[in-house]
Chains A and B, each alone.
Chain A
């Protein structure tokens, strides 16, 4: 029997290297309606506008200066001061400096920024907006030529003032760094701003010199409004740039049948050109964009001049790192939206107020020697996107597949 069973099992259980499975293509019969159809539909926005962001920017970069219609100042706040030990033998304060490291050189880096450091007369918080809080006493000034750190010497009375601020923080509710010159803008590290106290004391063998830093508890910059303000009728919308313009887009989505799959929901934004950054830096050949997509929850009109007036979710619906954009050959930014929005917007068109697309950061390769540099939208050039009023409007493209037919 083994002689019979063994060859038979080899025949029937053997390793097949021909066809792994039999497919039922010939007998897949599911009625005259087919097996489900995928269709793509394109719609043009019913509303679109670029919308600047005028609220205080608490990002990694602090912008300071003026160029064209852009004007920015930086604000700081200290919650806890750090003082040297006054009991050190021979303690002598030397100077107090406000130090603000440079982040990036925008444009050519020529020229200089004259800036004044002042107290603010009242505390400020995240609701602060241009032109900022009323200023108090001036603490010092500087002329920064884009080399090294920006430094403001608080002068001979600096240390005693810091002692007073430490003893009574209400005396220093905030600080403002304001340009007094025109034509240049600098970018500084928000996390690097400090008040640095230099002092001397008598050490075991000689006089020692040391310093102690007090870091800012809050740093931000604010800028003036975009001029001219957006009207909603521009043929080119500004995406990014010093005013951190986002794109508010709303396009109709027709209902989809129950059970359909959503294969695509995507804005295609035609790039009609680029605009230089503040201080003239042009768009490099290769750009990586990281964008945030916020869902807009309430009706809005074209020509809105501040993103703060849009009712958007507190956190982005999605965050995307877009594929490399080659400015010389790519003609459109392709921004996929969460496909789940299709189903909701299709079921209830009143829920579709569109999205706000913001640039989170721009990664550029400025030269063969610099592999990558991450910039905030305020530091980088901007894209010009064709609007629905132009010959190359943005489009919302979506694809759905009707549900497959049932087995019975």
Chain B
């Protein structure tokens, strides 16, 4: 019934590292993404490897994200469209001896974008660019309960992905053949560590994780018919960072969560005239009212609300500037969210959703502003479900 999948990638993905992804499941997205202190047998967070320490047996969880974006720009009008993506998928299994093993794939940034414009420099042409890729992570996690209140976990991330652009230039003259170019920015698949701890008591929990930096040799390739130009000698440094959060019970059903996350991107992370960097920072806060086992229809559903504020690491050239020497502007983003979900009677499987709305970018500084609404759906199936 639907046409081909719509594409609504961020207008700011045309430069820099692309749109930072929130890799959490729908439940934590509804709580603003605050998952560092998340613990228990049936909940977990991507940001803290210790959060899966209490997982029972085996479960798999996948999250799908549908986004509707609207952008306003200074020179190219306004547009709106839809997209779908999969920010993360995770498999967790409890090993004999109490250690929990996890494997996951998560999107770090989304560098997908399109360009379709007339070019008048030299011979007039129509230029179309399809950009894909981004930074992704393949992750292996080990976690276990150390004492009654302390959990520890460790992640090993393989930094995968690449940035790829297909340039196509069409001319009105039939005697001129189409120009096709491929640009690729690729890096060696190397790993980094992430260490996490949690301290959980009955009424509150604290969690924190630290991630190490990793320098990745970069290779740029530009290909066209009969020619390939390869450039090496550059590096991309995935910076170190940390995340810290809390969870505090409020009365019998509610609890409030909060988190601060930082990745220390800086101007040494990637040398470029087209993008500069600052530290990525995300502030998250959320409130969850747990479901009752008895009561009315809505009492049986959990209710979650949250908010988040994100500072993109990319500092992009200001509107009208051709490169960063002409001045840079940050991309700041805020979003509020609401969500709920269902838990299977045995507590092993779940279905959660979140609705998020937010805005990013300053039109005066960047020439574009983006408003987005997102629906996240997560489905988890566990061995309890199959019992």
Contact = CB atoms under 8 A, between A and B. Distances in A.
A29 B274 contact: yes
A264 B123 CA distance: 12
B212 interface: no
B280 interface: no
B317 interface: yes
A274 interface: no
Contact of B3 (A15, A25, A264, A340): A15
Interface stretch (A142-150, A255-263, A283-291): A255-263
B165 A407 contact: yes
Interface in A368-408: 397, 399, 401, 403-404, 406-408
B165 A39 contact: no
Interface stretch (B44-52, B89-97, B168-176, B258-266): B168-176
A38 B169 contact: yes
B255 interface: no
B183 interface: yes
B364 interface: no
Contacts of A259: 181, 222, 224, 227-229
B385 interface: no
Contact of A261 (B10, B82, B180, B272): B180
Contacts of B274: 29-31, 407-408
Contacts of A37: 121-122
B220 interface: yes
Given A12-B82, A27-B15, A407-B163, A263 B171 contact: yes
A334 interface: yes
A16 B119 CA distance: 28
B11 A22 contact: yes
A108 B229 CA distance: 61
A398 to B, nearest CB: 10
Interface in A1-39: 1, 4-5, 8-9, 11-32, 34-39
Given A25-B76, A39-B122, A339-B225, A14 B13 contact: no
Interface in A274-327: none
B351 to A, nearest CB: 8
Contacts of A14: 2, 82
B383 interface: no
Interface residues of B, number: 89
A272 B69 CA distance: 61
B113 A24 contact: yes
A365 interface: no
Contacts of B375: 5, 8-9, 11-13
Contacts, number: 224
Contact of A264 (B76, B79, B176, B181): B176
A41 B39 CA distance: 68
B106 interface: no
A343 B113 CA distance: 31
A35 B341 CA distance: 48
Given A19-B79, A32-B323, A263 B6 contact: no
Contacts of A404: 165, 167, 181, 183, 222
A9 B66 contact: yes
Given A1-B342, A27-B316, A28-B115, A403 B7 contact: no
- Which of A25, A37, A266 has the most chain B CB atoms closer than 10 A to its own CB? A25
A183 interface: no
A277 to B, nearest CB: 30
A26 B74 CA distance: 7
B353 interface: yes
Given A14-B2, A259-B229, A408-B274, 19 more contacts: A1-B342, A5-B377, A12-B375, A22-B11, A24-B9, A26-B11, A26-B76, A26-B367, A29-B316, A29-B317, A35-B127, A38-B169, A39-B123, A261-B180, A262-B225, A264-B176, A343-B226, A407-B15, A407-B183
Nearest first, the 6 closest Cβ-Cβ pairs linking A and B are A24-B14, A21-B7, A37-B122, A261-B179, A26-B73, A38-B123
Interface of B: 1-4, 6-15, 66-69, 71, 73-76, 79-82, 84, 113-117, 119, 121-123, 125, 127, 129, 131, 163, 165, 167, 169, 171, 175-181, 183, 185, 220, 222, 224-229, 231, 234, 270, 272-275, 301, 316-317, 319, 321-323, 340-342, 353, 355, 366-368, 373-375, 377
18 contacts: A15-B2, A18-B81, A22-B81, A23-B115, A23-B116, A26-B11, A29-B321, A30-B322, A31-B273, A36-B169, A38-B121, A38-B176, A39-B122, A261-B181, A336-B175, A399-B176, A404-B167, A404-B222
